[in-house]
Amino acid sequence: EPEVTQTPSHQVTQMGQEVILRCVPISNHLYFYWYRQILGQKVEFLVSFYNNEISEKSEIFDDQFSVERPDGSNFTLKIRSTKLEDSAMYFCASSPYRESYNEQFFGPGTRLTVL
Amino acid sequence: AQSVTQLGSHVSVSEGALVLLRCNYSSSVPPYLFWYVQYPNQGLQLLLKYTSAATLVKGINGFEAEFKKSETSFHLTKPSAHMSDAAEYFCAVRVGTGGFKTIFGAGTRLFVKA
């Protein structure tokens, strides 16, 4: 069964460094998302992406964040200058359609630790 | 704005007992509701979803949920808990704005005692 994959599974970085989190959505999906989950807290929406542009972003998704679909398969989240509070689990998700009754398929997550 | 509220951050049941995890929604339009499960150190797995076709929805691993419009609820149940059900459960609603994002509840951690 097709699934969303994410690399790396765990990333450790120093504060102020740039990180790129990678995701490979399910191949025929058109809508892509990033969410994050700070330890012990709820899963929060960051950004949605369709047709090579951001369709919606949350207040969390400030100028230090960016997303890109550099080729036909990868979807990346870049954090330009990491802060301690960026430490979280980051989930990528994809969906074949926009309609609300379709669930999003989530990847296993990347645990980002900022020291 | 659409949202979901999960009552109880922790629920503990004995193996073989009924599991009941509560979720209430707030929505001005018919909602599309989901339950996800997260096992320790893993991602989010869909348990079941409500899409207005039927009010009683059956999911994987013996779980089911009933949509009750009069109570604005979508509680998750399982007749008999198994040790392997110990996990975090998230109720969620898919919001029909430009990005059609998923809004998650705070989660309920289920403990199963032997």
Across the range B67-89, mean pLDDT stands at: 95
- Give residue-wise pLDDT tens across range A66-106: 999 988 789 999 999 999 999 999 999 998 876 656 778 99
Residue A17: predicted pLDDT: 97
The answer to whether A56 contacts B97, with C-beta atoms less than 8 Å apart, is yes
Q: Identify the contact set of chain A against chain B, taking CB-CB distances under 8 A.
A: 31, 33, 35, 41-45, 47-48, 50, 55-58, 91, 93, 95, 98-109
Work out the pLDDT band at A48, boundaries 50, 70, 90.
Answer: very high
State the pLDDT at residue B71: 92
Q: How many CB pairs under 8 A join A and B?
A: 70
* H helices present in chain B, as ranges: none
What number is the average pLDDT over the span B22-35? 85
What would the two tokens of residue B96 be?
């029909």
Q: How many CB atoms lie within 10 A of CB A111?
A: 17
Specify whether the CB–CB gap between A108 and B44 falls below 8 A: no
| Greater model confidence, B26 or A34 | A34
pLDDT value for B97: 58
**Least confident residue range of A10-19, A20-29, B81-90, B99-108:** B99-108
Closest by Cα among A21, A30, A23, A33 to A74: A23
Contact status, residue A34 vs residue A91, Cβ threshold 8 Å: yes
Cβ-proximal residues to A96 (8 Å cutoff; 6+ apart), any chain: A26, A28, A29, A30, A31, A102
